[in-house]
Amino acid sequence: MPSFDTVCDANMVDVKHAVENTTKEITTRFDFKGTPAAIELKDKEITMIGDADFQLTQIEDILRNKLTKRNVDVRFLDKGDIQKMGGDKVKQVIKVRNGIDTETAKKIQRQIKDSKLKVQAAIQEEKVRVTGAKRDDLQAAMALIRKEMVDMPLTFDNFRD
């Protein structure tokens, strides 16, 4: 029976390279000389440190440019609040989304069910598997998911005919 998986996975290798390139640019830029500006990646969290809010936004802009060059969708980034550290430093944690949370998965499942397409959606851990009898129905389901879930960087893989 034909099926495909709907997933939300960032390419962590490209994210790591983008963070490393951002670090290189921060160390060479004149406006960051003598400041504690830094960025680091641990697991799936990017931590930015700077003197003020505007410096964090500059670091974030550099990071977004590097991610875009590496074809990583910036919708994977989930920004946290700006926190004060000791002295004049501030930091911000950005989480890299990986996997579809259960609420979004249920929303996708409900949309497919309400569309009256002859396909079934099943939630499997952090992905949604869609199965159907015809390939055309699956492609229609893909189009529906793309149209309805604009804010999520969803991809489709494991397409089996």
How far apart (Å, rounded) are the C-alpha atoms in residues 9 and 153? 8
Residue 155 pLDDT class (50, 70, 90 cuts) = confident
In the three-class reduction of DSSP (H, G, I as helix; E, B as strand; rest coil), residue 94 is classed as: strand
123 three-class SS: strand
Determine the pLDDT at residue 87. Answer: 81
Q: Given this model, what pLDDT does residue 151 score?
A: 85
Per-residue pLDDT tens over the stretch 97-146: 888 888 989 999 999 999 888 999 999 888 999 999 988 999 999 999 99
Residue ranges and CATH numbers for the domains of the chain are: 3-8+99-160 (3.30.70.860), 12-96 (3.30.70.990)
For residue 67, the model assigns a pLDDT of: 94
Is the pLDDT confidence value at 28 over 90? yes
CB-CB contact of 100 with 6 (8 Å) = yes
Closest CA to 154 of 110, 108, 103, 119: 108
Cβ contact 109:121 at 8 Å: yes
Tokens of 161: 């005919």
Mean pLDDT, all residues of the chain = 91
Q: Is the pLDDT of residue 15 over 90?
A: yes
pLDDT of 85 reads 86
Q: How many Å apart are CA 98 and CA 76, to the nearest integer? A: 8
For 59, phi then psi, to 5°, come to: -65, -40
Report how far residue 142's alpha carbon sits from residue 161's, in angstroms, rounded to the nearest whole number: 14
**Model pLDDT, residue 58:** 94
Report the pLDDT value the prediction gives residue 160, as an integer from 0 to 100: 84
Residue 34 has pLDDT above 90, yes or no: no
